Structure 1
Amino acid sequence: MNDTAPAGSTAHPVGYARRLNAWDAAMVVVGGIIGSGIFLTPASIARQTGSAGEQLLAWGVGGVIALIGALCYAELGTRRPNAGGGYVNLRDAFGLVVAFVYGWNLLVVNHSGSIAAVSTVFVEYAAAAAGVTLADPRPYAVATIVFLAGINWFGIRAGSLTQNVLTVLKLAAIAILIAVGLSVRGAPPPAAPAGPVSPFAFAGALMPVLFSYGGWYYVNDIAGEVREPQRTIPRALIYGMLLVALCYLLANLAYLAVLGHDGLAASKAPAADVMRHGFGETGARVIAAGIAISTLGFVNISMIGAARVFQVMGADGVFFRSAGRLHPRWRSPNVALLLLAFAACVLALTGTFDQLLNYSTVGDWLGMAAVVATLFWYRRHPSTDAVTFRTPWYPLLPIVFLVVVAGVVGTTIWQHPGDAGWGALITLAGLPVYFIWRLLPR
């Protein structure tokens, strides 16, 4: 398949090329999940659980729920191995308006906000690793966004190679953290358990756990560029999720071995505290570099996946038409990429992303639940194409996923009604935007 369309030809518009192999897809899954969460979130989970056992149970339950979601996405990816991921599934099952609201939430909150926020986190940890104090990280965050957009302008291979390197490095950072934590002697003796927390409180602790496990869906967003997607996508999702769950559980064991449950709950930077315990300030700077690399990889894959969703929306006529085109040579969604980078840069410069992210967590998991629900529609409308992977124990696993997500989200809304309410308003604002957009002349 040629990289460019024939000069002056409009009969065959430029499409995506399948250039990613199984290793690339697995690195997308792992890199899309592991960001800064595992380095920071365990402390907040410890504050919401009563013992080390409950801490590990929360991460184990979260891993099982995420694996169930990944299994459902694996079937969806084989049924619709095209760019756009969940947006395409929702469009098929529930219509364009529901798909647009999903994409709207990604545009104005989830992806643009997370790219802005995590780029800022990258800058702060990179500065800490270098021993530099920055008066204002925002210009450097913008430079990071522009740099990664520039790499991804040159197509999926350039973005994927960058992702592969960053993901291997972030796994190495986690491996070092685990090795140091499990080998350190003189850990504090375990404190007397505070008693089991209520199921309601435990459900509340699961939301940040699920947040740390989210992101496996990026491989479905780029399914149109994966070779043999019917075989590759399920393998990448299953093995990638299992690897992440193993890393997360071992990392929590390392935290607990060094800090204990109470020390973990009191820590503001548990990864740095573990490394500092083993190697002093040098260790803290090493893990700061690891967190910087991990966050940079997350920004990169978020940019890759989101741009393809917005490109499909443009092709459907519910986003800028120009965003629906691909670069004639590099086959990248270059216009969608520029629009996404611009939105993220604006948020990074204005510093308005923190509250947006507080609003987005509930919407993010509700969006994933809606995508998983499309599996019931696909099962009732059999495809003429061969379906090479089916979610095991259907319909039990999708139902379990939906019930657990509904329970966790409901608990979060009960505990934080303000953030959840604003998140709902931002999402529902997509409805009038959709109908206005459809009325505009084309």
Structure 2
Amino acid sequence: MGLFQATAINMSQMVGVGPFITIPVMVVAFGGPQAIIGWIAGALLALVDGLVWAELGASLPGSGGTYVYLREAFQYRSGRLMPFLFVWTAMIFIPLIMSTGVVGLVSYLQFLWPSMTSLQGDFVGVGVVVLVVVLLWRKVESIGKLSVVMWAVMLVAVAALIIASYTHFHAGQAFDWPAHAIQLTHGQFWIGFASGLTIGIYDYLGYNTASYMGAEIKQPGRTMPRAIIFSIVSVMCIYLVMQIGVLGVVNWHDMLDTHSPAFSSVASVVLEKAWGHSVAEVITVLILITAFASVFAGLLGGSRVPYDAARDRVFFKEFGKLHPKHRFPVLGLLTMGVITAAGFLLGRLTNLSTLIDLLTTVMVIVQSLAQVVAVTVLRKRQPNLRRPYKMFLYPAPSILAGVGWLVIYGYADKAAPGIHPIEWSLAWVAAGCLAFLLWSKVERVWPFGPKEIREEYLEEQRQAGAAGAAVAG
């Protein structure tokens, strides 16, 4: 893949149902149209964190992503603990991401079904998850075609929303910032900023997709960082145009009412005001298709994470078993399906912002912050590893990324009062450590057996060098 294809793959994963459901959530977090700050801040964090992914992905190419990076970096001191914990936390944050898609689907369905009760919405959401699991209960070979169709449908919905917004745009309304919108000395501003940063980075997730495909990218040292930067900047422009356009049609005060259509299905409201109810219904159907397809693709890919780890003897071997006929990972799919349904119901009991806070705090500890550390650890432990791309201005981007993730994590409890996402994330990681001790005792690996050091990529590099020297000789 070249630069264009890598950028397109990143963008196809970044823009899904997310912006349709988080535009009003961002407004609530900031308390006004200054919510555009959240999109910019999220993009900046994605940019510096993207350089972390670029160095790791270019030097450790192939499938696996974070799982491989943590395995290579932390094996010297803690054996297989870190990759095990990554899979353990992925079992939570991947289905919770899918849960947000189901919450969004039910919210937009209410535009087409205004009389839908809360209980009916709960049944619909759980039913959607069950339907996805049933559809995945087979050998799926058309994920590539599905991704293309989902991307095309999403593009039509995004384009329609943007065009509708700017044909009925009121600049005075879009930029009607309240007095004292930015008070850097006020604690409430920073709580709103941290919430907005969390929502923003959630919407940019996917900027790292090309890093999982390092072995298939031409000149990864040049292509990968550029693909990450181009995709983030492009998507930021799309999000800013969408956010400002929506604010120019729908009064931001209406979005503060979390029970209003302006909050639950803001895109449909914009389209209805601009082009009438019938057109709004058609585009709403496209948004529902996008939401369903994103949950389908997410659970399809997510269920393979524990399977791949189990096959590599870094997770419970039960997750490495395939369906005898259709050859898909049964336990991974069922587990993530159940957690997705539970996360959806939790999101209905609380709100979408709380769900995003919970999944982000779990993700930050063992993926985001651990990868920041992994870059430095690998530079010290494997200095001779071929690095087609070295982080520009190292270590500044990784330090800035670490600070950004710590801001998200540190403010999580204040952003979701009464939910305690920090405590829940720590409890889940602690449970993962206990699970690792149980697993390692059964498997007789460190700390209950010898520590296995496998410098897989260095060894491949040595073998390739030896083969080249033999050919030259």
- Could you tell me which residue of structure 2 aligns to residue 292 of structure 1? 288
What residue is the counterpart of 1:313 in the other structure? 309
Q: Which residue of 1 aligns with 2:25?
A: 44
Would the alpha carbon gap of residues 282 and 21 (structure 1) be closer, same or farther in structure 2, given more than 3 Å must change? farther
What does residue 104 of structure 1 align with? Answer: 88
Partner of 2:12: 31
| Structure 1 residue 77 displacement after superposition | 0.9
> Whole-Å Cα distance in 1 between the matches of residues 152 and 46 of structure 2?
21
Query: Are 1:115 and 2:114 counterparts?
Result: no
What's the CA shift for 1:352?
5.0
Alignment match of 1:143 (pick from 126, 131, 138): 131
Deviation digits for residues 90-116 of structure 1 (CA, Å, limit 9, x no counterpart): 111123212211210111x11133335
- The answer to whether the 8 A contact 2:165-2:248 is kept is yes
| Distance change >3 Å, CA 149–CA 242, structure 1 → 2 | farther
Of residues 263, 270, 293, the one that matches 2:266 is: 270
1:164 paired residue among 144, 148, 155:
148
Deviates more, 1:139-148 or 1:61-70: 139-148
Contact residue 52 and residue 391 of structure 2 kept, 8 A: yes
Closer/same/farther in 2, CA of residues 246 and 91 from structure 1, 3 Å limit: same
Q: Distance in 1 between matches of 2:297 and 2:8?
A: 10
Rounded to whole Å, the distance in 2 between the matches of 1:391 and 1:171 is 32
Gaps of 5+ in 1: 1-19
Quote the residue 1:362 is aligned against. 361
Which AA in structure 1 matches 2:331? L
Which of 290, 295, 302 does residue 298 from structure 2 map onto?
302
Q: What SS does the corresponding residue of 1:259 show, helix, strand or coil?
A: coil
TM-score, normalising length: structure 2:
0.76
Q: Contact 2:15/2:235 (CA < 8 Å) preserved in 1?
A: yes
Match of residue 197, structure 2, among 199, 206, 209: 206
Moved more, 94-103 or 385-394: 385-394
**Structure 2: unaligned runs, 5 residues or longer:** 445-473
- Among candidates 421, 426, 429, match of residue 419 of structure 1: 421
Residues 160 and 260 (structure 1), Cα distance of their counterparts in 2 relative to 1, 3 Å cut: same
After TM superposition, the score normalised by the length of structure 1 is 0.81
For the Cα contact (< 8 Å) 1:26–1:237, is it kept in 2? yes
- Aligned mates of 1:144, 1:304 — CA distance in 2: 9
Q: Distance in 2 between matches of 1:228 and 1:265?
A: 47
Shift of 1:435: 1.0
- Aligned counterpart in structure 2 of residue 66 of structure 1, from 46, 56, 74: 46
CA distance in 1, matches of 2:214, 2:296: 17
Deviations 1:249-297 (A, max 9, x none): 1111111211244344443132222112112222432332232233234
- Within the candidate set 243, 248, 262, 1:257 is matched to 248
Matches within 5 A, 1:339-378: 339-347=331-339, 352=345, 354=347, 357=355, 359-366=358-365, 367-378=367-378
Residue 129 of structure 1, CA deviation? 5.7
Whichever residue aligns with residue 40 of structure 2, its letter is G
Distance in 2, matches of 1:384 and 1:328, equals 43
How big is the shift at 1:307?
3.8
Counting matched residue pairs gives 412
The amino acid that maps onto 2:28 is R
1:247 aligns with 2:238: yes
Identify if the C-alpha distance between structure 1 residues 326 and 308 changes in structure 2 by more than 3 Å, giving closer, same or farther.
Answer: same
User: CA separation of 1:186/1:415 partners in 2, compared to 1, >3 Å: closer, same or farther?
Assistant: closer
Q: Secondary structure at the match of 2:157?
A: helix
Cα deviation code 1:374-416 (max 9, x no counterpart): 1112222446554222222211111111112212321223443
- 2:179 aligned residue: 194
- The residue type equivalent to 2:12 in the other structure is G
Q: Is residue 120–residue 141 contact of structure 1 (8 Å, CA) maintained in 2? A: no
Distance 1:113 1:49 in 2: 23
Structure 1 counterpart of 2:392, one-letter code: P
Q: CA deviation at 1:62?
A: 1.2
Larger radius of gyration: 2
Percent of pairs with identical residues:
23
Between 272-281 and 358-367, the greater mean CA deviation after superposition:
358-367
The equivalences for 1:167-182 within 5 A come to 167-182=151-166
Asked if the contact 2:39–2:240 (Cα under 8 Å) also holds between the matched residues in 1, the reply is: yes
State which of 58, 64, 67 in structure 2 corresponds to 1:78: 58
User: Which whole-Å CA distance do the structure 2 matches of 1:275 and 1:374 have between them?
Assistant: 46
The C-alpha deviation readout for 1:38-77, integer Å capped at 9, x for no partner, is 112221222232553x322221121111122122212211
Change (3 A) 1:99 1:167: same
CA distance, structure 2, for counterparts of residue 229 and residue 177 of structure 1:
37
Structure 1 residues 242 and 205: CA distance shift in structure 2, 3 A: closer
Backbone CA RMSD of aligned residues: 3.4
C-alpha distance in 1, partners of 2:100/2:32?
Answer: 31
